Amino acid sequence: MSTIKPENIGIYLLTISDTRTKSTDVSGKTLREKITSSAFPCIGHQIIRENSGEILQSVQTLLKQPEIRVIISSGGTGLGKRDITIEELAPLFDRELKGFGELFRMLSYQQVAARCLLSRATAGLVNDKMLFILPGSPAAVELAVDKLILPVLLHMFEVIEK
């Protein structure tokens, strides 16, 4: 029997965008609603600019907080010149969860067809914490949280803490 409880796996949400504000951050709102209606606590949410120093510094600060076990970011994963989230955060991974991105793109194909190839969604383990890097669209956030993250999150930490 597992001693890991959902209430001990705090989740922090980040929107990474130069254009979103609190009132226009639909993906952030979707993330907050999904997490707050789950058994996992939502520790907080913030919007940060697509700026290399700001993205990395924000995530490194969050990783030092013991109550945060999961960070889910949305935005900055496309092919545009300002989309630098992957380049900033993936080097932090101790272990990349390659299957997350692969399965995300497979499921995305059902919604957006070949455009799923443009997704660079990924996830990885950083100091025994999970970091999920999602695209900024509300549909992508909903897909990732409902189909991939929440169904396996408790089991992930059972495996991590073995």
| Amino acid 3: pLDDT | 81
Is-contact 77 83, C-beta < 8 A? Answer: yes
CATH number of the domain that residue 136 is part of: 3.40.980.10
In a domain, 36, yes or no: yes
Query: How many domains is the chain built from?
Result: 1
| Amino acid 1: pLDDT | 53
pLDDT in tens, 96-125: 999 999 999 999 999 999 999 999 999 999
pLDDT in tens, 53-76: 899 999 999 999 999 999 999 999
In a domain, 140, yes or no: yes
Map 97-126 to HEC letters.
CHHHHHHHHHHHHHHHHHHHHHCCCEEEEE
In a domain, 113, yes or no: yes
Average pLDDT over the chain reads 95
In a domain, 1, yes or no: no
Residue range(s) defining the domain that contains residue 33 = 6-160
